[in-house]
């Protein structure tokens, strides 16, 4: 369960870079995620944390480098020993192992809460309706919203919306779940209920998680490993203990001191 694990990684970034025009967001990132590992990514805004997740979710294409999921290339296809750019069909075949929860929830506003959660299981996984509903209700119960099945997203608070979004992603049973600053858009009093749900899921264990967050206490409690990014690079990584109590690089020290002061 830690980064020294001997198990084959479920995700492997190799020299992954991303630029938008002249702006370089990620510079040759290397990162292995072990099955079930919980990694928290911290760092100043603009340091490339979110882009790391977006590349893995196939929302953004890397400028160079490769990403492997379960030993298979994500953005490339192996054709006669040569790596060529993946097409939608290939992306579709691998993307199902990844799930994501977004900062702004992105629930489907025209669907009830139940349909938000059953839509993909029915139409993507091909489950029959009853099974999908069963699964959805189990998940919604877990996030404490089984009484809101017929509500629409507009009728929920931000914290409730985010918990639905978590259920919607979980119901697809991904191997790796990405949480992209999932509490940043919430009113302070609603942050706790969302973090509590994530803690509970993390405790169950088997799913790997990449948690991009500004909640330092949460990162320390939940993560097996903490990664500090700055300027598009992984500047330092280690156990929560190392990162928070014995930070080595000056940049991490400055970052943490600002946090403590703020």
Partner 1 sequence: MVSVDLLPLLYQGAVTTLKVTVLSMGVAFLLSFLAGFARLSRRKSIRLVSSVYVEVFRGTSLIVQLFWLFYALPLLGIELTALAAGVAALGLNYGAYGSEVVRSAILAVPKGQTEASIALNMSPMLRMRRVILPQAMVIMLPSFSNLAIELLKGTSLVSLITMADLTYQGMILRTFDASRTFEIFGLILLMYFVMAYPLTLMMRWLERRFSAGRV
CB-based contacts of 53, cutoff 8 Å, min separation 6 = 41, 100, 178, 180, 210, 212
* 100 lies in the site for partner 1, by CB under 8 A: yes
* 120 lies in the site for partner 1, by CB under 8 A: yes
Three-state SS sequence of the chain = CCCCCCCCCCEEEEEEEEEECCEEEEEEEEEEECCCCEEEEECCCCCCHHHHHHHHCCCCCCCEEEEEECCEECCEEEECCEEEECCHHHHHHHHCCEEEECCCCCCCCCCCHHHHHHHHHHHCCCCCHHHHHHHHHHHHHHCCCHHHCCCCHHHCCHHHHHHHHHHHHHCCCCCEEEEECCCCCCCHHHHHHHHHHHHHHHHHCCCEEEEECCCHHHHHHHCCEEEEEECCEEEEEECHHHHHHCCCCHHHHHHHHHHHHC
* 152 lies in the site for partner 1, by CB under 8 A: yes
- The nearest distance, CB 138 to partner 1, in angstroms, is 18
Among 75, 102, 179, 255, binds partner 1 (CB under 8 A): 102
- The nearest distance, CB 19 to partner 1, in angstroms, is 20
Q: Which of 54, 59, 171 is nearest to 113 (CA)?
A: 171
* 74 lies in the site for partner 1, by CB under 8 A: no
Which residue number, 82 or 85, has a Cβ lying nearer to partner 1?
85
- The nearest distance, CB 260 to partner 1, in angstroms, is 33
Among 5, 70, 111, 237, binds partner 1 (CB under 8 A): 111
* 124 lies in the site for partner 1, by CB under 8 A: yes
Q: Of 38-67, which residues contact partner 1 (CB under 8 A)?
A: 57-59
Which residue number, 176 or 197, has a Cβ lying nearer to partner 1?
176
- The nearest distance, CB 125 to partner 1, in angstroms, is 9
* 153 lies in the site for partner 1, by CB under 8 A: yes
Compute how many residues bind partner 1; rule: CB under 8 A: 30
* 88 lies in the site for partner 1, by CB under 8 A: yes
Q: Of 168-227, which residues contact partner 1 (CB under 8 A)?
A: 168-169, 172
- The nearest distance, CB 54 to partner 1, in angstroms, is 8
The pairing of strands 38-42 and 208-212 is parallel
Q: With beta carbons less than 8 A apart as the criterion, state whether 141 and 172 touch.
A: no
Among 1, 27, 119, 196, binds partner 1 (CB under 8 A): 119
- The nearest distance, CB 202 to partner 1, in angstroms, is 19
* 75 lies in the site for partner 1, by CB under 8 A: no
Q: Which residues bind partner 1 (CB under 8 A)?
A: 57-59, 88, 92, 95-96, 98-100, 102, 104, 106-112, 119-120, 123-124, 152-154, 165, 168-169, 172
């Amino acid at each position: 369960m830690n980064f020294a694990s001997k198990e084959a990684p479920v995700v492997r970034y190799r020299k992954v870079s991303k630029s938008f025009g002249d702006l370089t967001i990620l510079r040759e990132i290397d990162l292995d995620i072990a099955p079930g590992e919980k990694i928290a990514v911290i760092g100043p805004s603009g340091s490339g944390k979110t882009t790391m997740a977006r590349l893995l979710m196939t929302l953004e294409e890397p400028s160079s480098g490769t990403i492997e999921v379960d030993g298979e290339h994500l953005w490339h296809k192996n054709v006669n020993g040569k790596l060529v750019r993946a097409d939608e069909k290939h992306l579709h075949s691998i993307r199902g192992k990844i799930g994501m929860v977004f900062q702004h929830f992105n629930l489907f506003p025209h669907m009830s809460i139940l349909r938000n959660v059953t839509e993909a299981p029915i139409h993507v996984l091909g489950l029959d309706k009853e099974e999908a509903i069963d699964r959805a209700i189990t998940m919604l119960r877990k996030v404490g919203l089984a009484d809101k099945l017929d509500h629409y997203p507009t009728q929920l608070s931000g914290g409730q919306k985010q918990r639905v979004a978590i259920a919607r992603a979980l119901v697809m049973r991904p191997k790796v779940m990405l949480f992209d600053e999932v509490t940043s858009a919430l009113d302070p009093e609603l942050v706790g209920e969302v973090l509590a749900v994530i803690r509970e899921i993390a405790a169950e264990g088997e799913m790997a998680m990449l948690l991009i967050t500004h909640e330092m206490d949460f990162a320390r409690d939940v993560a097996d490993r903490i990664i500090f990014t700055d300027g598009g690079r992984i500047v330092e990584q280690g156990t929560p203990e190392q990162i928070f109590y014995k930070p080595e690089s000056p940049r991490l020290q400055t970052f943490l001191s600002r946090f403590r002061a703020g």
